[in-house]
Amino acid sequence: MKHACCIMVQGTMSGAGKSLLCAALCRIFKEDGLRAAPFKSQNMALNSYVTRDGLEMGRAQVVQAQAAGLEPDVRMNPILLKPCSDTGSQVIVNGEVRGQMSAADYFRMKKSLIPEILAAYESLAAESDVIVIEGAGSPAEINLRGDDIVNMGLAELVDAPVLLAGDIDRGGVFAQLYGTVALLEPSERARIGGLVINKFRGDEAILRPGLSMLEEKTGIPVLGVVPYLRVDVDDEDSLAPRLGQQAAKKPIDVAVIRLPRLSNFTDFSLLDEHPALGVRYVEDARSLGTPDLVILPGTKSTISDLLWLRQNGLEAAVLKLAHGGTPVLGVCGGYQMLGRTLRDPLGTEGGGEVRGMGLLPVDTVFCEQKTRTRVQACVTAPAFAGAALDGYEIHTGKTTVEGEPFCRLETGADDGCVSGNVYGTYLHGLFDTGSLAQKLAAFLCGRKGIPCDTAAPISHRAYQEQQFALLAEGVRHALDMKAVYAMMEQRRG
């Protein structure tokens, strides 16, 4: 292919499975010998990633890039919105912070970003055979149609054919798909080359009469019924962590505090793959119980989430566990919370000074400049000494440390802090190599006097490759790929 084709996946709603379908298509095209690149003009998520050149992008396109066999590139997600309140977000354009904006202010200015969106898209297209575009929410949000830059508005700008996916697992999939198509303008409906039923469980034969009726009513063919695939691929949504007890009982209970502005919960994905570690997310003191490890994760709003902990009783519960000897680990914002003080002289997080939890001898001052960098490190904390880390920092704030460091960066600088059974670090992705996860499991099992699986740890990347293969196999089997290729060629031609 001399010029890049494209295919766009839109959904009837958020959570319809667009991100996973795009990841599957990226891997399928890679398996077919094509250079595919993902693209999403605007992403709203608290799970972000730092590229090798120190820029910030949404994790959904990171996962899709990895499925395509590419290094994540900020051009794949030129606009990232990171919610900092119910009505405002930090606006990141081409990996750099443009500032905080209310929803109304951003809505008024977003069309001015179209030239930057198109520049990123065209630059990627010049290097690719196929661009796999992900929409956001639903194209039938008729109140937003006039200023759309992420669904049909973008499809028109780049002349993309569209697959429209509906989630049957939630119920009402025929109404989802028919209603979405009915609310579109005729020119928009004409872009939809196929409908996809996603997350199906059951006997497809029972579904077929409904598929025929759907095709008759919409005039659009159903190109696939994708089963509910039991694959473990990172989700972009900060609401995704499961609350409550772990699904499968494991000997070690790891409780991650579900902060209101929780970010980068994917830091803990690999922990749950260890046969000894059961990870659960909790948001109240009663459900915290007596875990073997408490984790305070990253957050977009450290001070407000610390006050939330304080008000709902979770801080007191964590302090009681920590003083009783339970290990506590803080990552990024969670690390800052574990310190003595948090000061915000410039109002980056609302201003003022609050006391921290006092479990680590560190003090944090927030500033306007954001640290974004990829790092490699070696853990120096005695319980986990020697664990190799490959992660990234993404935070505002400078932390002064008086205690022992958690790890040493490849630059020779120290990171984090350790005080007895309490550990803190700024490094996201700290478990991705598998090395620290294995040492943590051995440490926690040793504390309980139980055997621990000593098999060589699998890295996050190796595990991810296994999951991508399963995902691509399942979607390829369910989706009419000949029709997908025909859609792309017809638009290009």
Q: Percent of the chain, pLDDT > 70? A: 95
Q: Which pLDDT score, from 0 to 100, does residue 198 have?
A: 96
Q: Which pLDDT score, from 0 to 100, does residue 239 have?
A: 42
Flag the least confident range among 177-191, 246-260, 328-342, 404-418.
246-260
Q: Which pLDDT score, from 0 to 100, does residue 87 have?
A: 73
Question: For residues 272 and 252, is the Cβ–Cβ distance under 8 A?
Answer: no
pTM score over 0.85: no
Architecture of the domain made up of 5-233: 3-Layer(aba) Sandwich (3.40)
- Are 5-233 and 252-460 the same fold in CATH? yes
Flag the least confident range among 63-72, 160-169, 459-468.
459-468
The answer, yes or no, to whether residue 454 has pLDDT greater than 70, is: no
Flag the least confident range among 24-28, 155-159, 369-373.
369-373
Provide the residue ranges of all domains of the chain, joining segments of one domain with +: 5-233, 252-460
pLDDT digits (tens, 9 = 90+) for 156-176: 999 999 999 999 998 999 999
Q: Percent of the chain, pLDDT > 90? A: 76
pLDDT digits (tens, 9 = 90+) for 175-232: 999 999 999 999 999 999 999 999 999 888 999 999 999 999 999 999 999 999 988 8
Most trustworthy range by pLDDT among 43-52, 97-106, 469-478:
469-478
pLDDT digits (tens, 9 = 90+) for 270-321: 888 888 999 999 999 999 999 999 999 999 889 999 999 999 999 999 999 9
Contacts 24+ apart (CB under 8 A), 441-449: 441/252, 441/274, 441/276, 441/277, 443/327, 443/383, 443/384, 444/252, 444/276, 444/277, 444/292, 444/293, 444/327, 445/251, 445/252, 445/276, 447/292, 447/327, 448/251, 448/252, 448/292
Q: Which pLDDT score, from 0 to 100, does residue 143 have?
A: 86
CA dihedral over 206, 211, 216, 217, signed as positive or negative: positive
Question: In which element (H, E) is residue 8 found?
Answer: strand 5-11
Q: Average pLDDT in the 448-476 region?
A: 84
Q: Average pLDDT in the 111-116 region?
A: 95
Domain 252-460 has CATH 3.40.50.880: yes
User: Which two tokens mark 154?
Assistant: 């973008």
Q: Which pLDDT score, from 0 to 100, does residue 272 have?
A: 82
pLDDT digits (tens, 9 = 90+) for 409-429: 999 999 999 999 999 999 999
Residue 55's pLDDT band (cuts 50, 70, 90): very high
More confident: 99 or 152: 152
| CA atoms within 13 A of residue 345's CA, in its CB half-sphere | 5
Q: Average pLDDT in the 337-360 region?
A: 92
Q: Average pLDDT in the 231-244 region?
A: 59
Rounded (10°) CA dihedral 476, 477, 481, 482: 150
Question: For residues 357 and 422, is the Cβ–Cβ distance under 8 A?
Answer: no
Q: Average pLDDT in the 420-444 region?
A: 95
| CA atoms within 13 A of residue 219's CA, in its CB half-sphere | 7
pLDDT digits (tens, 9 = 90+) for 468-480: 999 999 999 999 9
Q: Which residues, other chains included, contact 282 with Cβ-Cβ below 8 Å and sequence gap of 6+?
A: 243, 244, 255, 256, 257, 258, 288, 314
The answer, yes or no, to whether residue 339 has pLDDT greater than 80, is: yes
User: Which two tokens mark 478?
Assistant: 């369910």
Which residues are the active-site residues?
332, 428
Flag the least confident range among 319-328, 348-357, 458-467.
458-467
Q: Which pLDDT score, from 0 to 100, does residue 1 have?
A: 40
Residue 453's pLDDT band (cuts 50, 70, 90): low
Chain position carrying tokens 């499925």: 67
